[in-house]
Chain A
């Protein structure tokens, strides 16, 4: 269960609680969706409370540091470490060579293992960033428009790989997207919409 009650900058307030394993978040640009993910990851300080099941990531007395949160974060531009190869990027947060190769095969990028990020296309970068987050065995996965550079058939295959992985490893997901077809990943589950956003009343 994910429970979030945060006061973001500029008077934005967001609160939601979900028993679902996967929560999709849509909403207008500038509504603070990316900021919300950054706050949950602990990269930005916002007052409030974030809990994941029994585990308190942040409240009035506690603030778990980013590197101990175990939160996989894939930002909108699929940030990669420019000095590391694809294989090294994949294994940055954990996982051995065979695990990295396995996920690379699932994501259809095994031929890119020795490449540097500057030699990758946008879609390839997104898949490396996604694979890297999964290999770090996160307790919660935060995805910010993660499929925007993938064509429709590839997107469908990646979504199915991701879906299987999340189920197998029992990882909850928070997905930010304003593409309705991305939110399919969250299935029947609750979708917190833009209603949760906006200046605090």
Chain B
């Protein structure tokens, strides 16, 4: 059962920690025009099409214990390879494309003239963001978080490479299922499969509901 609990923690942390970067990137891609816009838009999607094992390997090259960054992080008590932190990072990166995509769609759906209107009513850019853009994009951002959570829940390849398969620390549902399949005498697979299906379905139902809320919120006659 610890694998289910661990998966929930990893998925939740990935959704929470990914919120700011996903919002920033989504906003940038939806609202700003700049050199490299197309490139950034494509790069953000890379983890979605790259084999997760390769993503894991690249992350290992970047934050593994023998790298400058990884070594520094490990020395302050935040090792990102073969650790819980690594499992979260893997889930976050693999879930980020869906997250950014949802955030971008949420911001695109907000009529920029509403921000202009707020400006004529005396709201400077920060107030426009807090009083108009973010409240209107909120359901879409939440939908993105749910999607990132669901994707993080099922992460396997990148997690296995970057974080390994450590009982109680990085052995999430997917890794536990894989482990149990190796050992035909073991029991408990059906429990993990059931939990997995239920969690995914629940997340997608929430995603659907949030999308409807978003549409209703933006509705103008």
Contacts and interface: CB of A to CB of B under 8 A. Distances in A.
Name the interface size band of chain B.
20 to 34
A72 B120 CA distance: 6
Contact of A117 (B120, B123, B136, B220): B220
A75 B113 contact: yes
A75 B121 CA distance: 13
Contacts of A68: 122
A94 to B, nearest CB: 7
A157 interface: no
A92 B121 CA distance: 7
A133 B122 CA distance: 11
B120 A82 contact: no
A130 to B, nearest CB: 13
Contact of B120 (A66, A83, A118, A125): A66
A80 B124 CA distance: 18
A67 B131 CA distance: 14
A43 B128 CA distance: 14
Interface of A: 41-43, 65-73, 75, 79-83, 92-94, 117-118, 120-122, 125, 132-133, 136
Given A81-B114, A94-B122, 16 more contacts: A42-B119, A66-B119, A67-B122, A67-B123, A67-B127, A70-B122, A71-B120, A73-B120, A82-B114, A82-B136, A82-B217, A83-B135, A83-B136, A92-B121, A120-B221, A125-B221
